[in-house]
Chains A and B, each alone.
Chain A
Amino acid sequence: MSAVVAKAAEAPETNPAQKLLEVRDLVMHFRVGHGLFGPPGLVRAVDGVSFSLARGETLGLVGESGCGKTTTGRCVLQLENPTAGEVIFEGRNLVGMEQAQLRKLRNRIQVIFQDPYSSLNPRMTVGQIIAEPIAVHGLERDPSAREERVRGLLVRVGLLPQHAHRYPHELSGGQRQRVGVARALAMQPSLIICDEPVSALDVSIQAQIINLLDELQADFGLSYLFVAHDLAVVRHISDRIAVMYLGKIVELASRRDLYEAPAHPYTRALLSAVPIPDPAMEATRERQVLTGEVPSPLNPPSGCVFHPRCPLAIERCKREAPQLRAVGSAHQAACHLV
C-alpha cells in the first residue's frame, strides 16, 4: 500500500474510503534571523514529506530531536501553516481551508502532547477541560448529560468520576496524561496525533498509557500518528513506521520489515544504538556508531542529507538527493545503494 504513496500521481488509490489521511509533499520552512544583524535564514524543518494513514492504523514517526517529526504532526493538525504541500483528511485538503470550515472539522483530528504539565489549562478543572470541547462542538447540548459523558470518559481512561472536580496541579503526571487522552477522546476524533505522549512519564506509567492507547484504538477504531524517539515504544504500538532525518522521510516500512530488515543506513545505525538488556549479548553486540552531529536544518548538506555521516556514502550521494522508492512490497527507502 505504501508503494502507492510514492507514485500517487500515476497509480491512484484503489480504495480511497480506507485512506483517512494523506500527506503529500509537505514542506514547512521557518524564516529566522531577519533582524538587523546577520543574513536571514531558512530553517527547513520539514522538506517534502509524503505518507498516508489508513483507518484504524498507527503510523510511527521516529527520528532524532530536530528532525521535523513534531513539526510534521503540527502541520497535520493545522497548528502550523505549511509552506507547501497538501494534508488530505477524510478526502478534504486542510491546507488553505477557510478558518470557519476548518474549525468545524477540528474535532476529527485531536492531539495528545508530550508534557502533561503544560498541556492542561491550570485555571480549569478536569471536568471543565473535558466538557468544553463537547459543548463547543455541540456534541452534547444538555449540561447534565454532558457531565455524565465527562464522568464516563474519565472512567474510560482509568480515572475516577470525582476527578472532574480537581485542578490539574492536584494530579500526578500519569493522571494528567490520562486527562489529556480523555480530552482528545471527548471530541470523537478519527485521528489522534500523539506527540511523544509518554516520553515525559515514568517507565511504569508509560506502559499504562501505551496500553490505554492500544485499547482505545481497538474500541473506537482510531488512527494514530505516533511521534516518538523511543524505538521500543514505537515498535510496540505502530503498524508502519516512518524514519525521519533532517526534514525528510528516509525509510517507510511495516513494523516487521523496519526492525528485522532495515534498508537505509540511518535506520540501521538507529536500531544498532538500542542497547540489549542482557550483558552477555550487549558485550558482543555489533554497533554502528554514527560520527558527527546532525547538520543544521538552516544549511542542509547537498545531495543526500545523510551523506556526511553515512558509512556507505559514495560520490553520487553528494550530488544527487535520493528519492523514496520501493525496496519491498510495503517497504520504501531513500538511498542510492539499496
Chain B
Amino acid sequence: MSELVVGLEVPSRGSRLRAACGDFIRRRPLGAIGAAVILLMFAAALTAPLISPYDPVQVHFAAMLAPPSAEHWLGTDSFGRDVLSRLIYGSQTALIVGFGASLLGATIGALIGVASAYFGGRIDLLLQRFMDVLLSFPLIILALALVAILGNSIPNLIVAIMIPMVPRCALVIRSSALSIREMPYVDAARAAGFTHSRIILRHMLPNVMATYLVMLTAFLGQAILLEASLSFLGLGVQEPLPAWGLMLRGAAVEFAETAPWMAIFPGVAISLAVFAFNLFGDSLRDALDPRLRTQ
C-alpha cells in the first residue's frame, strides 16, 4: 500500500509555471526572443499614450518629410506626423486585429474540427466539404472579397481575416481530435450518459489545446501580415488611423527615394512582429510536443 502515499505534496500552479518558463527560455532561446518582441509590442500598445513623443494624427506642416533626428527619432511623413508615434499606435491596431481575428478563427475552427471528429459520418463529411470549399480560395483573395462586401471597419476587417483561418484550423484540429475520439476516456464519458456538447467541450477540446495554441500563434503572425496587406491595398484600416500597412502604402510609392524612413520603419515593424510570432509559435509547438521534449 506504500504506493498510495508517496509524493503527495502538490507543487503550486505558480511555481510550476515559473519552472516551465525558465525551461522554455533555456531550451528555446529563439522562441524566447520571439516572446520578448511580442511582449515589447504589447507594452508599446498598452502604454502608447504615455510613451509616444507626439500625437500620431497631429499634422505638422512645418516638419514635413523630416529625416530621423533627435526631435523625430524615426523622422516624419508627408504630413509631418511623427513616424515613431504612428508606429507605436499602429501596434494597437495590429494587435487588436491580429488577436481578434486569430482568436476567433482558431476557436471557431477548433470547435468545428472537434465536432466533426466526434460525430463522424455524414456530419463530418458535410463539414469537411464545406471547409474544403473555403480552403480553395487563396487567403488574401477571400479576405479581399469579404472586405469588399462587408466594408472596411475594424470589426469587418477582423471577420474578413478570421474566415479564411477557420478551415485551416478545423482541418488540423480534426486530425488530432480523431485520435482523441478513440480514447477510452471518451467512451467512458459516453457510457456515463454525458451530452454531446459536454463531451466535446469538457473531454475533447481540452485535449487538443496544444494544437490549438500552436495554430493560434501561427495565425497571429499571418493575421498581422494580412491586416497590413489589406491596409496597403486600401481595403483595411482607413486614414488617419495609424496602421503599419497604411503607413507603407503612403510611403512606398511616392517617397521611397526621397524619404525612405517612411517606408523602412513600418516595414521593419511588420516583419519583426510576424517573425516574432512565428518564432514563438514554432518553439511553442516543439515545447508542447511530448515526442520532442527531452527529459
Contacts and interface: CB of A to CB of B under 8 A. Distances in A.
Given A158-B4, A160-B8, A170-B7, A113 B188 contact: yes
A47 B194 CA distance: 30
Contacts of B1: 158
A72 to B, nearest CB: 15
A77 interface: yes
Contacts of B187: 74, 79, 111, 113
B207 interface: yes
Interface string B1-22: 1011101101000000000000
Contacts of B195: 103
B191 A118 contact: no
A249 interface: no
A274 interface: no
A122 B4 contact: no
Given A79-B187, A111-B188, A158-B1, A123 B8 contact: no
A316 interface: no
B240 interface: no
A159 B192 contact: no
B193 A175 contact: no
B184 A118 contact: yes
Nearest to B1: A158
B185 A111 contact: no
Contacts of A124: 202, 206
A137 interface: yes
Contacts of A158: 1, 4
A166 B202 CA distance: 18
B80 to A, nearest CB: 55
Interface in A132-190: 132-133, 136-137, 158-160, 162-163, 165-166, 170, 172, 174-175, 180, 183, 187
B150 interface: no
Interface residues of A, number: 41
B190 A121 contact: no
Contacts of B190: 79
A29 to B, nearest CB: 17
B245 to A, nearest CB: 39
Given A119-B185, A160-B8, A111 B193 contact: no
Given A159-B4, A166-B10, A172-B3, A79 B191 contact: yes
A121 B203 contact: yes
B207 A121 contact: yes
Contact of B3 (A106, A114, A166, A175): A175
A163 B209 CA distance: 25
B27 to A, nearest CB: 21
A223 interface: no
B3 A122 contact: no
Interface of A: 74, 77-79, 102-107, 109-111, 113-115, 118-124, 132-133, 136-137, 158-160, 162-163, 165-166, 170, 172, 174-175, 180, 183, 187
6 contacts: A103-B195, A106-B191, A110-B192, A113-B187, A120-B185, A137-B192
Interface of B: 1, 3-5, 7-8, 10, 183-185, 187-195, 198, 202-203, 206-207, 209
